Amino acid sequence: MNYDIFTIKDIKSNCFHRPFFAQNKIQAQRDFARIANDKESPIGNYPEDFQLFSLGVFHDSDGSFEIWDQPIFLNNATQFVKEPDFEQMSLVEMFKDFNEKRRKERSKNDEKN
């Protein structure tokens, strides 16, 4: 079986994270989407700063790698962020979500100043 190789780029720091393997692009995108919606992760807190790239393929039959000349852009994390369903949220969750959005907005304003 071949495994596709992916990486996540942090746009703000202009660096790529350690590569990871997935069976295919869909699986990698699903994992990236899960992280983009996890408010405990840096990607979930700042999805506008992260992108998913394909790097190549690992062939497990002979241990060889097929690496692309350049990383191939696949998605921005913001493409996977789900809007909260306020009808299903408790008041505590709504308050936390509101405060989180307010904190992010202040952080963006601080960076501009």
Helix, strand, or coil (residue 108) = helix
Mind listing the pLDDT tens digit of every residue in the chain (113 residues)? 899 999 999 999 999 999 999 999 999 999 999 999 998 999 999 999 999 999 999 999 999 999 999 999 999 999 999 875 555 556 566 667 777 777 877 777 777 66
Let me know the angle formed at the C-alpha of 23 by 71 and 57, rounded to the nearest 5 degrees.
40
On whether the pTM is more than 0.75, the answer is: no
